[in-house]
Amino acid sequence: MKVRFIVLFILFCFLFYGCSQEKFDFPYTARFEDSVRIQTDVSQKFADKAVERFDEVYDAYSKLIPFPSKRKRTFVISVFRQREDFLSYQKLIGPTESQVGFYIPDRGELVLLYTGEGETLRTLFHESFHAYFEDRIIHPPAWLNEGLAQYAETLNFSIMGKIKFGKVTNASTKWNKTLSRMYESESIPHIKDIVERDWPDKHSLTNEQYALSLSMVNFLKSQEEETFNNYLGSLYDRENPRSAFFKIWPDVDELDEQWKKFIKKELRKGSLLRLLP
């Protein structure tokens, strides 16, 4: 009985994967070494430009997450020009309900809707960070995963070729306004509650959860980079995320008080973002 089930499961996976590949035709492809393959129906120029950025982007990611990958596989990025094709493909392969992009860890595939070159590349920085991060920190807490991805989305390419985090985006401005409303209504939860409960539906976060995630990451990174990296190192070593957090930051009441002061200060400045040196 077990053997029959396994055979049927393998057959299903083969047919499922085969159908998904046959249904959508990607006339343009590009590769970054052996680690990234982009397939799209937008244009060859777009595919080449996206790949061109990965050398710089991966270098920036490695500064945020200084650990080697635990998975050796090609990261696939599928970009659709038509919304109908994007939504159909999403329904076929993923449990998400995203309007612009989503990542399926088990497949190692990122799927995006083309919304103009600049905006699509910005979404690419965000979603590809999830892939980079989850190949190193297996099953990370959702608040950390999303907060770091929001942070990665603020990548800024200078004319001199240097990369910095901290570019103000439409999303970061939106989360800033959301957090401001929460602060004024005194509805920001205790940091302990967020760490213990995490976000229950990691595939469908609320505006408040996005805003809190970004704020927590910015705050913890601003405290002391080495301490934050020690927490990431604990997760890399497969420690329980909650236990590791409370071991690194044992006085959570003091930490929460500092976080609220940080929020107040950053809101006064009009931004939740901190530039890396």
pLDDT at position 161 is: 58
Contact between 121 and 50 (Cβ < 8 Å): yes
pLDDT at position 249 is: 97
Instruction: Give every CB contact of residue 14 below 8 A, 6+ residues apart in sequence.
Output: none
Instruction: Inform me whether the pLDDT recorded for 30 exceeds 90.
Output: yes
Contact between 130 and 145 (Cβ < 8 Å): yes
Q: What is the mean pLDDT of residues 114-136?
A: 88
The DSSP result for 41-103, as a single string, is SS-HHHHHHHHHHHHHHHHHHHHHS-S--S---PEEEEEESSHHHHHHHHHHH-S---SSEEE
Instruction: Inform me whether the pLDDT recorded for 248 exceeds 70.
Output: yes
| Cα 256 from Cα 252, distance rounded (Å) | 6
Share of the chain above pLDDT 90, in %: 47
Reported as a pLDDT band with limits 50, 70 and 90, residue 22 is: very low
Residue extent(s) of CATH 3.40.30.160 domains in the chain: 30-136
Beta bridge partners of 111: 78, 102
pLDDT at position 172 is: 74
Q: Which residue has the higher pLDDT, 105 or 219?
A: 219
Instruction: Inform me whether the pLDDT recorded for 3 exceeds 70.
Output: no
What class has domain 30-136? alpha beta
pLDDT at position 274 is: 43
Q: What is the mean pLDDT of residues 115-144?
A: 89
Residue-averaged pLDDT of the chain: 84
Reported as a pLDDT band with limits 50, 70 and 90, residue 19 is: very low
| Cα 202 from Cα 209, distance rounded (Å) | 10
